[in-house]
């Protein structure tokens, strides 16, 4: 009897201790929260979280802030001022052109310790003077190394060494909901740091002026305002995962949506501009559209992912690889393609001449094709489909017999188009016939390219204009 009684008591004690432990574990302790009675008798609970429960941006902010700079630009604008009525009586109704300086500002990120800084193209576009102020308040004059309007990336440089940098991170690894911080100079408030999360990836914005754009923005809710453009978007490791570039707002100020260029795009463009002076952009040679739910049902796809190939450029990279109109492109190498912007972003990470495996769905079957990307006209020496050759932003081609006869020439190379680059900067115009390059006669585009490749420093070009007047222009190779 006594033995049974002892067993029952022991069991009760163990059960009680177990119940107490369970309740203690489930009920917040003093550090987690406390009950408070308000003046009207209502009870509410406050919760206290430990420091480890909060996202900590101190390392990222302190390690990156010194490498984010303030960029001040000066732009000269031409304005027409109507003459005073008294003068109009004598000189007629005419306007007097006058130049006016306008100041602008933005941000930039130091990416190399010898003074190379990435910013937005729209920050320095049209600037006649650029100044950079570091976080230690030292100010330097800056030169524009190169710009790429298609991605809104620009590189500027200051004459300094041993500068702090923000290391590049992999923007492809960003996850929705991940914490990021934005660093810049909104409204001239230097070194301002704001925090937010990654709200979306692969965003595009509408363009109504027909400009060619490559966009796959990171959308965040970190506060970004005018002046933040060109500043850093940084992860908690202190790595650069994007360059802040735009907001969507009806007031012109931050309203909850901001956009950054992914660091993987920025890094490729920056390397090209620094190393080559222009962007060596890969082209697939297709026009495409998004896969809607209706399109997916029509094509009997399992999901509305991928892009629908509307057209394939004849002679382009896709055409040579065997991609056809009506294919659904779902993968490039190991990267899944879900939208047109994701395909643009992936293709933009390659250089002309690079190879990739492209997966398409055709008639319900999956096919893997190998594509060799072609280049754009910005790559000097590249042959275009129309037979012209890229030449420092312009296109050159062997002059036709009709053109040569009209000008009384036996041979020559015609500049058939002029775009942003050294030829345009040297003042050359379309229709110019190149006769000599560095004192050597030329008759084909290949002659021009080969002579320029051998030139050590300057390129001196002689010829005639489209109306037969002797002329020349020159530029440096570097």
Positions marked active-site: 122, 152, 229
Instruction: Write the CB contacts of 1 (distance below 8 Å, at least 6 apart in sequence).
Output: none
Q: Where are the alpha helices (DSSP H) in 308-369?
A: 317-321, 340-347
Residue whose token pair is 């463009």: 269
Distance separating alpha carbons of residues 344 and 357, to the nearest angstrom? 15
Q: Please state, in angstroms and rounded to a whole number, the distance separating the CA atoms of residues 133 and 139.
A: 4
CA distance 404 to 195: 64
Closest to 75 (Cα-Cα) out of 123, 140, 142, 117: 123
Looking from the CA of 403 toward its CB, the CA atoms found within 13 Å total: 19
User: Can you tell me the distance from the alpha carbon of 63 to that of 90, in angstroms, rounded to the nearest whole number?
Assistant: 66
Both tokens of 268, joined, read: 């490729």
Question: DSSP letters along 259-320, please?
Answer: EEEEHHHHHHHHHHHHHHSS---EE--EEEEE--HHHHHHTT-SSS-SEEEEEE-TTSHHHH
Closest CA to 348 of 369, 378, 327: 378
- Reading the block at residue 344, the tokens are 């643009």
How many distinct helices (H) and strands (E) make up the chain?
11, 29
Over its C-alpha atoms, the chain yields an Rg (Å, rounded) of: 31
User: How far, in Å, CA of 359 to CA of 37, rounded?
Assistant: 65
Q: Is 84 helix (H, G, I), strand (E, B) or coil?
A: coil
Both tokens of 315, joined, read 């002679």
With vertex at residue 377, the alpha carbon angle to CA 376 and CA 381, rounded to the nearest 5 degrees, is: 105
Six token digits for residue 34: 């406390």
Total residue length of the chain: 478
Class of residue 141 by CB neighbours under 10 A (exposed 0-12, middle 13-18, buried 19+): exposed
Classify residue 229 by burial, with Cβ atoms within 10 Å: 0-12, 13-18, 19+. Answer: buried
User: Which distant-in-sequence residues (6+ apart) come within 8 Å of 34 by Cβ?
Assistant: 45, 46, 48
């Amino acid at each position: 009897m006594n033995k049974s009684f002892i067993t029952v008591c022991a069991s009760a004690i163990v059960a009680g201790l177990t119940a107490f432990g369970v309740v203690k574990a489930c009920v917040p302790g003093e550090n987690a929260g406390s009950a408070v009675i308000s003046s009207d008798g209502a009870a509410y609970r406050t919760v206290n979280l430990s420091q480890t429960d909060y996202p900590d941006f101190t390392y990222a902010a302190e390690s990156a802030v010194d490498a984010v700079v303030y960029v001040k630009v000066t732009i000269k604008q031409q304005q027409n001022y109507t003459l005073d009525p008294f003068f109009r009586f004598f000189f007629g109704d005419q306007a007097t052109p006058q130049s006016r300086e306008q100041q602008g500002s933005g941000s930039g990120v130091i990416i190399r310790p010898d003074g190379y800084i990435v910013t937005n193209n729209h920050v320095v576009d049209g600037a006649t003077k650029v100044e950079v102020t570091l976080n230690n308040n030292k100010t330097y004059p800056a030169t524009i190394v190169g710009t790429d309007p298609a991605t809104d990336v620009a590189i500027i440089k200051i004459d300094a060494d041993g500068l702090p940098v923000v290391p590049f991170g992999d923007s492809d690894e960003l996850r929705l909901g991940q914490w990021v911080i934005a660093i810049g100079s909104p409204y001239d408030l230097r070194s301002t740091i704001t925090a937010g999360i990654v709200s979306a990836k692969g965003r595009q914005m509408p363009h109504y002026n027909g400009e060619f754009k490559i966009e796959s923005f990171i959308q965040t809710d970190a506060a970004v305002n005018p002046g933040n453009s060109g500043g850093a978007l940084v992860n908690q490791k202190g790595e650069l995962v994007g360059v802040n570039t735009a907001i969507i707002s009806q007031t012109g100020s931050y309203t909850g949506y901001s956009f950054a260029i992914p660091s993987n795009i920025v890094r490729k463009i920056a390397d090209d501009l620094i190393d080559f002076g222009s962007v060596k952009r890969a082209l697939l040679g297709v026009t495409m559209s998004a896969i809607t739910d209706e399109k997916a049902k029509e094509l009997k796809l399992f999901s509305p992912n991928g892009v629908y190939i509307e057209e394939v450029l004849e002679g382009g990279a896709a055409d040579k690889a065997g991609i056809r109109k009506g294919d659904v492109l779902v993968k490039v190498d190991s990267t899944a393609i879900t939208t047109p912007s994701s395909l643009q972003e992936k293709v933009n990470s390659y250089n002309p001449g690079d190879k990739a495996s492209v997966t398409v769905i055709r008639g319900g079957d999956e096919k893997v094709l190998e594509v060799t990307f072609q280049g754009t006209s910005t790559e000097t020496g590249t042959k275009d489909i129309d037979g012209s050759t890229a030449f420092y932003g312009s296109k050159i081609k062997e002059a036709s017999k009709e053109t040569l006869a009209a000008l009384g020439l036996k041979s020559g190379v015609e500049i058939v188009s002029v775009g942003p680059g050294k030829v345009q900067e040297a003042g050359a115009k379309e229709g110019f016939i190149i006769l000599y390059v560095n004192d050597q006669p030329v008759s084909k585009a290949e002659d021009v390219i080969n002579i320029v490749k051998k030139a050590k420093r300057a390129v001196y070009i002689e010829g005639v204009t489209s109306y037969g007047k002797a002329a020349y222009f020159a530029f440096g190779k570097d």
